[in-house]
Amino acid sequence: MVRDNSAGIYRICKAYLYNKSHVDDLYQEILLQIWKSLDSYKGAAKISTWIYRIAVNTAITYNAQHKKTRFNELPERAEIADEPQTAAKEKESQLTQLTNAINQLEEHDRIIISLVLEDLSYKEIAEITGSNTNNIGVRIARIKTKLLKLMENQNYA
């Protein structure tokens, strides 16, 4: 079950961490926490929700503990070619822009958007973060708008 969600966990680490060189360490730490908590899973929540909850909480602690090494990385340069790009290159460029835009979001917004990108429902995201289910939709819409705006700004820059 952890293996089924491992890619999602890894992407959350990538989206949430300020220092990308720590992604592998955080990923290992999350697996350790899940491994340690397996006995406490009672089946009250979906297993994926439970796993993502551990992932997010471990990431929060990890980020706070590694504050000294926290920094916003210089944005990677997305290639904007004059000639039409191949589909693969275009996707790669879009991904770089997306990563750069996520890097500019605030910590809490990063948590939420990393869960949205994993296609979790509003109910699940509210359950993981402890947010109000009624407000989470508005919040997500606001973050999405901000993210798209940040990406557009990169295109104009």
Partner 1 sequence: MDFDELQKNWQAQPIKMPENWQSINAGLTDQWQKQQRSVLLSNIFTTLGFIAAIINFGWVYKSFHQGHSLFFGGSLLFMSVLLLVYLWVLWKGYALKKNDPTLNSKEYIYQSLKKLHWRRKTITHFGWFYSVLLWAALMLYMQDVTTGGSLAFRIGAPLITTVYIFGIMIVMRKTKQKKQLNKIDLLITDLQVLLEKMEA
Strand stretches in the chain, DSSP E = none
Of 87, 26, 80, give the one whose Cα is nearest residue 57: 26
Nearest residue (CB) to partner 1, 4 versus 83? 4
Shortest distance in whole angstroms from residue 118 CB to partner 1: 7
**CA–CA gap between residue 139 and residue 127 (Å, rounded):** 14
- 60 CB-near residues (< 8 Å, 6+ apart): 111
Q: What does the binding site for partner 1 look like in residue numbers (CB under 8 A)? A: 3, 6-7, 10-11, 14, 24, 27-28, 31-33, 35-37, 40-41, 50, 53-54, 56-58, 60-61, 63-65, 67, 91, 94-95, 98, 106-108, 111, 116-119, 127-131, 144, 147-148, 151-152
Nearest residue (CB) to partner 1, 31 versus 85? 31
How many CA atoms lie less than 13 Å away from 146 in the CB half-sphere? Answer: 16
Nearest residue (CB) to partner 1, 77 versus 145? 145
Nearest residue (CB) to partner 1, 63 versus 103? 63
Token pair listed for 51: 């796993």
Shortest distance in whole angstroms from residue 45 CB to partner 1: 9
